[in-house]
Structure 1
Amino acid sequence: MSYTRGVFQSFKSQSKHRYLGDLSGAFADLGTFLPIVIGVLTLQKVDPTGLLIGFGLFALVVAAVYRRPIPIQPMKVVAAIVITQSLDAQTIAATGFLLGFTVVLISLFGVLDLLARKIPTPVMTGIQLGVGLMLAWAGIGLVITDPWTGIVSTGILFLLLATPLKPFAAVAIVIGACLWSLSTTQNSLTDLSLALHTPDWTTFGWPQLGLSAQTILLPQLSLTLTNAILATAAIAGHYFPKDKQRISPTRLGLTTGAMNMLLAPFGAFPMCHGAGGLVVQHRFGARSWLAPVLFGITMITLGVLFGPQALQILLLIPLAAVGALLIYAGLDLAWHKSLTSSPHLDLSVILLTGICCATLNVAVGLLIGWGWFLLGRSLFPNKNRTE
């Protein structure tokens, strides 16, 4: 009886630890989510209800399909062009539909799985290095927007990580920073009112599709295929080796494409998965479907109950505090055992790929690293290397 009780208590302890980790990890990658969403919503050309509900529904689908913390993030190239060129809601919807349709076609033809099999291991390790460096650099950029909050948050984060409170370090930082922001700024929540909001139906035609194809399709597609699909699948395979078949490049491509096509007319912003988001969520404890479910329910609640007022709530979250999470998770991913144990040729591929990914973009880093790998193999065919 005592043995059974001990096993039961151990199971309860492990379950509690896992749930805390999923709660903490679910919101750990807000540093890549908030700046883009806030920037887009500030333009007041996108329906906040449709945008937030879109993220929420996609997250719930991810939870059901993958049963792992596969993140949902706004497409970065689309966001940059939308913000700088102030594109309207019709063009944004057309972009989401066109990108989704293109990614579905590429996935159905098996191109993504073929690429994943052909890319050499040192190149994929280099991409992980580059993604880690990009995360850390993005975190530093957020921290310096409010150095005092950023430095204090970083210090508290590292203290929490060294204690039994580690499983919910990320959520503790976010909640604590929000409370601090609420007490020190003029952003008050007293004027918020609850109401039921529904997404605006957004129509688009050939002019919007043509503009999207000319200005957005190719640069965003290259980033989506490499960082959001290939790199995400590789990192997921490292974290969850038993789920490699379920979290394959083709399946990631199909969920990305199908959900963008379905949700674009409802005002959703173009979305994708993300290697960086997976790293941050996993590093702060997310392991199961619960993390995307928590994120999804939160987004749907904000969209349905608060609508346009949701921006006021999002502005409460200090980006400098979230930056601390990105720095830690980025450096953790960047440091890989291959950096100290690889043969010289492989190490040069890893470093070159990582630096190019971090300073240029993942697609360029992939091509340069792969080219250097092939060149090294032809020049030094007898050297030890990883295939």
Structure 2
Amino acid sequence: MAYSFRSDEQTELEFSASELTGALGDSVTVLPLLVALAATTSVSLAHVLVGFGVFQIVWGLYYGMPLSVEPMKALVGLAIVGSLSYPELAAAGLLAGGVLLVVGSFGLVGHLQRVVGEPVIRGVQFAVALLLLEAAVDLSLGAPGIAVAGLALVCLLALLGYRQSSVLVVLALGGVAAVLAAGVPAPRLPELALFPAGSPTISGAALEGTVAQLGMTIGNAAIATALLCGDLYDRDVSADRLSQSMGVTCLAAIPAGGVPMCHGSGGLAGKYAFGARTAGANVLLGVGYIALALIATGALLAAFPMALLGVLLVVVAIELGRAAFDPIPFTDRRALALVAGVGVVGLVVNVGVAFVLGAVVFWLLSE
């Protein structure tokens, strides 16, 4: 079967201060998650950053707009908390990529969204948020004083109106501390290798994570992002087309040492809110990621304060949890209960079981 990809005829590029700040709007949740993933698994941060850099540029130029490229949060979150090893994460990402490519090619994205139900997808988001919060507490216990100071700084910046930028400030402080402890690394290119951090491993946990992630990806990264492309940038981009590009991204990046990636409505909205209006933001961010990859050594990562990493995960967890409940009206008690129920089951049992049970309950309630 042939897969055709149409490139936009006109790609507007602008390199300005607003495009640069817009690029940072997409990195607010990306960088903390990547640093946390690299600190808790065998993944190579340098290879991951190169993957993000390349595909920021590729999809920005292809779609002709500042489209977001983010980690698949359910899978990456499960890896951070230890539910998935990197080989299992890689396998889950390849499976998800293959499904997204096929589903998008046959125009099935909308059908799958209707079958699963938005409250179930939001519940998976909430479950990942709870798991990240649990991991954040564990990381912070090693140096509670540093964690409290980091949280105080985040709260202060939020009160001053810099809530979204606060994680970048904490990340920068952690980076400075790591450089002071480990020294300035000599820039070097990541080695070219097939699956440099470990070959994919299929397991029950990987399959469960894949199913849960696909629900989130179809709802948030495909359908919601397609709507935002029209609302914010007046671009007609179909959810099926986004599904195809996400599939291509996963299938190409993971063998080279990357992680599962997707587009995301949150990242797209963040770019717009911070001033990005053209694909120039993607080019700037892509170059920035690749530049960071040159100095992302294991020694530097090992010197990063784990308590500050816990602070970063707290902020990411809160944002992810808030995003899970925001779209649901307060009057829709049934949907709110389903989101909360799926989240709690995901925390206590696992996300795969929570997703399946939630889908069954949603189907029964819809009858």
TM-score where L is the length of structure 2: 0.70
Q: Alpha-carbon deviations, 1:204-228, whole Å to 9, x = none? A: 9xxx7xx745678634532431234
Aligned equivalents of 2:144, 2:313: Cα separation in 1: 10
**Matches of 1:97 and 1:126, distance apart in 2:** 23
Deviations 1:156-208 (CA, angstroms, capped at 9, x unpaired): 1111112154563232222233334545xx3222xx3235x36424399xxx7
Q: By how many angstroms is 1:154 displaced?
A: 1.2
Query: 1:262 corresponds to which residue?
Result: 252
Give the Cα–Cα distance (whole angstroms) in 1 for the partners of residues 127 and 275 of structure 2.
Answer: 23
What is the number of equivalent residue pairs in this alignment?
339
Letter in 2 for 1:227: M
In 2, distance between residues paired with 1:374 and 1:39? 37
Show the counterpart of 1:35: 36
Higher gyration radius (CA) = 1
5 Å-filtered alignment, 1:300-319, equals 300-303=290-293, 305-306=294-295, 310-318=297-305, 319=309
| Cα distance change of structure 1 residues 261 and 125 upon mapping to structure 2, 3 Å threshold | closer
Greater fraction of residues in helix: 1
Contact 1:126 1:350 in 2 (8 A): yes
**Aligned pair in 2 of structure 1 residues 281, 70: CA closer, same or farther (>3 Å)?**
farther
Match of 1:187?
182
1:53 offset after TM fit, Å?
Answer: 1.9
Structure 1 stretch 358-367 or stretch 55-64: which is displaced more?
Answer: 358-367
AA paired with 2:339?
I
Gap change, CA 1:334 and 1:113, over 3 Å in 2: closer
Match of 1:72 in 2: 71
Q: CA deviation at 1:116?
A: 1.6
Deviation at 1:115, TM superposition (A): 0.9
Deviations 1:21-52 (A, max 9, x none): 642551434332223224444xxxx7765443
Match of 2:194 in 1: 202
1:28 touches 1:284 (CA, 8 Å); kept in 2?
no
Preserved CA contact (<8 Å) 1:58 1:72: no
Shift in CA distance, 316/106, structure 1 to aligned 2, threshold 3 Å: same
Q: Structure 1 residue 109: deviation in Å?
A: 2.5
Of residues 91, 112, 115, the one that matches 1:115 is 112
What's the secondary structure of 2:165's corresponding residue? helix
Matches within 5 A, 1:79-94: 83=85
Identify unmatched segments of 5+ residues in structure 2: 1-15
Q: Residues of 2 paired with 1:96 and 1:371: CA distance?
A: 25
The alignment's TM-score, normalised by the length of structure 1, stands at 0.67
Matches of residues 79-158 of structure 1 in structure 2 within 5 Å? 83=85, 100-158=97-155
Shift of 1:292: 5.1
SS in 2 for 1:340: coil
Q: 1:110 to 1:299 in 2, by over 3 A?
A: same
CA 1:255–1:242 in structure 2 vs 1: closer, same or farther (change >3 Å)? same
Supply the distance in 2 between the matched residues of 1:347 and 1:268 (Cα, whole angstroms): 38
Deviation at 1:140, TM superposition (A): 3.5
Are the aligned partners of 2:51 and 2:253 in contact in 1 as well (CA < 8 Å)? yes
- Is the counterpart of residue 368 in structure 1 residue 357 in structure 2? yes
Q: 2:275, 2:131 → 1: CA distance?
A: 23
